[in-house]
């Protein structure tokens, strides 16, 4: 079955809301979704997250809850934890964080006191808000010091990171980010963290699926703590996990509950368990490898069309495009591409002379299109659409955007998306 999906109870109770859901389903079916943090969760994941497990309160952890009636919930959480440990090869997993940001906040709570120094990549360089950036609680409650990438290479300069870390002596160092097109050198970060006595946190929110599928090196031998969302390349429900060696298990669990959160979202825990089961299948390895192969092919096609890519290309699922040479601001391009049925986000590029709300770049990625089954043979067409869209954005050519939108919808119709089909 494909669209329209039926939501009989929702439609009967609240047709207004049901119509919005149906419209969103249609939008996700028809468009080329290139936002690298997004994906299509499977029908099984969606079903698990819509279950009555959400009716249950379960503050605490399996076997030590503050509410009775946990016969099933304890098993659900134990299953999710065991699957996370097996998939990533870790000694401890906490599957309760509501999302990536609270997961990171729990890490600070576990390992730093308010006012102490923490270190992460600067937001405009590709880091995440929660890595100590000023407008985030993590940058106001802690003293955030920030590293970046080199202007000439677009890569992290480990001499600079080491120098900063030894000078500032952070309690916690975050590596990872939201706009990093290159492989993260966890070993290099680990060496620096060891030198200055910091806890190293690998925030692999974007690349957890690639790690699980063997398409990016694992942080497990190097990082003290691994933080990840479950809804990006991992293709699960919106949620997060914290993983670590046994020595940090207690501190992390205590920080998540009762330190930061109340009752876990059991329906999400269930859906995480399903996603981890899916990620343990051989087909998930193929998906992860294809995500990277598609991104590389797309980067090559974009370079061939004269686009400027930060760091010159990609090793993972993500491409950061600097549109300065095309003389089209990122926001103008993103909005035009949206009208052409290609969904991207505008993004700062390192050393961006423009403002964060009106930056020079756009950020794209291949997880969603790969989940639909598109392969490297389609990347020339995708690059061509982006090229035509950006050119049309600069020229105010709405007709081309409309034409591209129809072409995109035609290809998308041939590749039904997981979650939107049964």
Ligand X SMILES: *Cc1c(COP(=O)(O)O)cnc(C)c1O
Work out whether 205 is an interface residue with ligand X (CB under 6 A).
yes
CA dist., res. 230 & res. 96, Å (int): 11
Are β-strands 199-203 and 172-175 bridged in parallel, bridged antiparallel, or unpaired? parallel
What is the b/e burial string over 396-421, where b = at least 16 CB atoms within 10 angstroms of the residue's CB? eeeebbeebbebbeebbeeebbbbbe
Three-state secondary structure call for residue 7: coil
CB-wise, 100 or 365, nearer to ligand X? Answer: 100
Give the binding range for ligand X (CB under 6 A) out of 198-206, 250-258, 326-334, 353-361: 198-206
Does residue 57 carry a catalytic annotation? Answer: yes
Which of the residues 59, 74, 185, 191 is marked catalytic? 59
Among positions 37, 94, 244, 314, the unique one binding ligand X when judged by CB under 6 A: 37
- Annotate each residue in 229-268 with x if it binds ligand X (CB under 6 A) or - if it does not, as one string: x---------------------------------------
- Annotate each residue in 132-171 with x if it binds ligand X (CB under 6 A) or - if it does not, as one string: ----------------------------------------
Are β-strands 318-322 and 308-309 bridged in parallel, bridged antiparallel, or unpaired? antiparallel
Among positions 25, 77, 203, 322, the unique one binding ligand X when judged by CB under 6 A: 203
Which of the residues 25, 30, 203, 301 is marked catalytic? 203
The burial of 303, by beta-carbon neighbours within 10 Å (0-12 exposed, 13-18 middle, 19 or more buried), is given as middle
Does residue 182 carry a catalytic annotation? Answer: no
The alpha carbon of residue 44 and the mean position of all alpha carbons in its chain are separated, in whole angstroms, by: 20
Work out whether 330 is an interface residue with ligand X (CB under 6 A).
no
Work out whether 128 is an interface residue with ligand X (CB under 6 A).
yes
CB-wise, 99 or 183, nearer to ligand X? Answer: 99
Taking the alpha carbons of 104, 268, 32, 21 in that order, is the dihedral positive or negative?
negative
Taking the alpha carbons of 97, 106, 367, 184 in that order, is the dihedral positive or negative?
negative
Say whether the peptide bond before residue 255 is cis (omega within 30 degrees of 0): no
Work out whether 216 is an interface residue with ligand X (CB under 6 A).
no
Among positions 177, 181, 209, 236, the unique one binding ligand X when judged by CB under 6 A: 177
Work out whether 183 is an interface residue with ligand X (CB under 6 A).
no
**Which residues, 85 to 114, sit near ligand X by CB under 6 A?**
99-101, 104
Which of the residues 238, 254, 305, 339 is marked catalytic? 238
Strand partners, 201: 174, 225
Task: Write the CA distances from 270 to 45, 230, 365, 398, integer angstroms.
Answer: 8, 12, 27, 45
Work out whether 130 is an interface residue with ligand X (CB under 6 A).
yes
- Enzyme catalytic residues: 57, 59, 203, 229, 232, 238
């Amino acid at each position: 079955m494909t669209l329209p999906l039926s939501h009989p109870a929702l439609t009967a109770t609240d047709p207004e809301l049901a119509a919005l859901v149906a419209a969103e389903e249609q939008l996700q079916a028809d468009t080329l979704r290139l936002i690298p943090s997004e994906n299509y969760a499977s029908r099984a994941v969606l079903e698990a997250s819509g279950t009555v497990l959400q009716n249950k309160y379960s503050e605490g952890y399996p076997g030590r809850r503050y509410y009775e009636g946990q016969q099933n919930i304890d098993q659900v959480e134990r299953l999710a934890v065991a699957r996370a440990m097996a998939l990533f090869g870790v000694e401890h997993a906490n599957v309760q964080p509501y999302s990536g940001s609270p997961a990171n906040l729990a890490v600070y709570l576990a390992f730093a006191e308010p006012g102490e120094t923490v270190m992460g990549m600067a937001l405009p360089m590709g880091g995440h808000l929660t890595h100590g950036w000023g407008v985030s609680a993590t940058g106001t409650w802690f003293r955030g010091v920030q590293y970046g990438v080199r202007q000439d290479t677009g890569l992290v300069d480990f001499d600079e990171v080491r120098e900063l870390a030894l000078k500032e002596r952070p309690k916690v160092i975050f590596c990872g980010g939201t706009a990093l097109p290159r492989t993260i050198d966890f070993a290099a970060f680990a060496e620096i963290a060891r030198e200055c006595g910091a806890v190293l946190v690998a925030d692999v929110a974007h690349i957890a699926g690639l790690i699980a599928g063997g398409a990016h090196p694992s942080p497990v031998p190097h990082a003290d703590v691994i933080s990840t969302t479950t809804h990006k390349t991992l293709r699960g429900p919106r949620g997060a996990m914290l993983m670590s060696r046994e020595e940090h298990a207690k501190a992390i669990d205590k920080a998540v509950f009762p330190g930061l959160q109340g009752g876990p979202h059991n329906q999400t825990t269930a859906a995480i368990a399903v996603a981890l089961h899916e990620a343990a299948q051989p087909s998930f390895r193929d998906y992860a490898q294809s995500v990277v192969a598609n991104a590389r092919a797309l980067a090559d096609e974009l370079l061939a069309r004269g686009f400027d890519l930060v760091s010159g290309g990609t090793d993972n699922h993500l491409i950061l495009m600097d549109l300065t040479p095309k003389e089209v601001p990122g926001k103008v391009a993103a909005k035009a591409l949206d009208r052409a049925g290609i969904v991207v986000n505008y993004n700062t590029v390192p050393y961006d002379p423009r403002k964060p709300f009106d930056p020079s770049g756009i950020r794209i990625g291949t997880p969603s299109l790969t989940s639909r089954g598109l392969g490297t043979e389609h990347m020339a067409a995708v690059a061509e659409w982006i090229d035509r869209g950006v050119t049309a954005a600069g020229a105010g050519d709405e007709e081309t955007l409309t034409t591209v939108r129809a072409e995109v919808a035609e290809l998308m119709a041939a590749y039904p998306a997981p979650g939107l089909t049964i």
